[in-house]
Structure 1
């Protein structure tokens, strides 16, 4: 079957932006076009494809089953065309690039070692790392703007149609700065609710593990909280305050070794969630992406076996 030559690049761009934003209004802002123009373009595409691509409601626009199927191919196609145009415009041979999405809560341990090994083996390789919430990274992976995403396994609908490969398990722990009053408090965890709390952002996968930690130990969380996925912000705030940080172990491992942070002993540790790599089966796997997958698997295996870090 031949591709209908009436399908234009603008049709694909509008489709991808609405799929990414989940809203016609937000997509219009990004594309700098009016909502009637965007609606007309989507209607043209649906007519040409003879399929309804979005369900429109009060909460926004969600992909239909046909929309999900079309997205698997539209995203990589547009990205491949952009890469081709950029290569011709440059007039020179571009270095090989891998686009890697990384959750901020897992970037501090695994990724630096992976990048070191990649650069040792492939001197001309550019590793472009994008951080952000899981939903943001998965949406970019789905439309072909990222080659891989490294993060925690999620039950979000956004992972549907994507492939997840387990690398290792990472537990959550409670840490405070060295010299924190709770370390000398004989009542221990009974008074933890008296101190400010640092938690992952509400609604995230990692927050569910943090909440589970409190339930397991019968701790009443403090009402005074900082909620963020930023490891840098969490660390600085904890080091200059009386706050208790519910942190991924890998994010604080180095600080624990150096004695700047101290882990609170609750008698048992939260078992942790699965950290792995997420790929889009509809994307053609570039050599750079395959190199990155191999390095991630390698470091992940060493982590599981206790050889790294």
Structure 2
């Protein structure tokens, strides 16, 4: 079947931006057009496809089943066209840009070495990194706004339909500042853990469930005083300057533990390791820069495993 020639590039751009923003108003702002123009463009596309693409509500818009099906192909097709235009303008000899989505668990551990490797091998390469929760980053990957997503995300529902390549496993650990009161007592009474503020990943994220499981194993409820964040920098500074307990990905605190700036709180519990890896969109043709990045990630993961015996 031939593609309906009534479908224009502006229809696809509008559809993708609405899906990305979850709001007609925000999409209109990003596209620099009026909200009525966005509504009209979407209506035209829905009439051409004979399908309702979004459900409207007071909270915004969400893709219908038909919208999700169309999104799987519209995002990669627009990305491929944009990549083709870029390659003609810059020349095929240019490395271009690789767009990475990176979860906080690998932001300060694996990624710096990956960027170093890429820049040593490819002087013209721009590495663009976006951070955030796995659900958001995987949605961005699905619509073609990212080339790869790196981190621990195998339990995220948004991974359905995407491809995941395992690199290594990591676990969650409990860490505190040096001199913390819990380091001076017998931790057979694990209820003492509930007396101190706790730092956790955001509720609803992939790694929060593993963090919660450590407190379940201790047989206690989470303290009411909690800091919920994906910011490794904020978590580190807060724990170092307070009596809080941090339920952290081992990768995120490995160097702090080695330097003695944080101390492992050993309760005799072990949370099973989760899979850290590379997620890609099989509907998208991988760019040369994305292939280089995947190779660098694999090489860095091997070295990381050898160095830290993950």
TM-aligned CA distance change 1:278 to 1:92, over 3 Å: closer
Distance in 2, matches of 1:145 and 1:58, equals: 26
Stretches of structure 1 that go unaligned for 5 or more consecutive residues are: none
CA shift for structure 1 position 91: 9.2
CA shift for structure 1 position 184: 1.0
CA shift for structure 1 position 60: 4.1
TM-aligned CA distance change 1:202 to 1:223, over 3 Å: same
Between 1:294-303 and 1:99-108, the stretch displaced more is 294-303
RMSD between superposed Cα atoms in Å: 2.5
Q: Secondary structure at the match of 2:253?
A: helix
Structure 2 residue 71 is the aligned partner of structure 1 residue 71? yes
Whether the 8 Å contact between 2:101 and 2:130 is mirrored in structure 1 is yes
Whether the 8 Å contact between 2:80 and 2:285 is mirrored in structure 1 is no
TM-score by length of 2: 0.89
Between 1:187-196 and 1:201-210, the stretch displaced more is 187-196
Q: Which residue of 2 aligns with 1:260?
A: 261
Q: Secondary structure at the match of 2:161?
A: coil
CA shift for structure 1 position 109: 1.4
Matches within 5 A, 1:184-195: 184-187=184-187, 189-195=190-196
Q: Which residue of 2 aligns with 1:53?
A: 53
Distance in 2, matches of 1:19 and 1:158, equals: 14
Q: 1:8-67 CA distances to partner (integer Å, 9 max, x unpaired)? A: 222112100121123334434433544433222111012222333233456543323432
Q: Which residue of 1 aligns with 2:237?
A: 236
Whether the 8 Å contact between 1:166 and 1:274 is mirrored in structure 2 is yes
Distance in 2, matches of 1:82 and 1:197, equals: 45
CA shift for structure 1 position 85: 4.7
Stretches of structure 2 that go unaligned for 5 or more consecutive residues are: none
Q: Which residue of 1 aligns with 2:169?
A: 169
Q: 1:280-301 CA distances to partner (integer Å, 9 max, x unpaired)? A: 0111111211121122223334
Between 1:8-17 and 1:81-90, the stretch displaced more is 81-90
Q: 1:83-142 CA distances to partner (integer Å, 9 max, x unpaired)? A: 455566679975422111101122121112222222333333222211111122112111
Between 1:100-109 and 1:85-94, the stretch displaced more is 85-94
Between 1:83-92 and 1:134-143, the stretch displaced more is 83-92
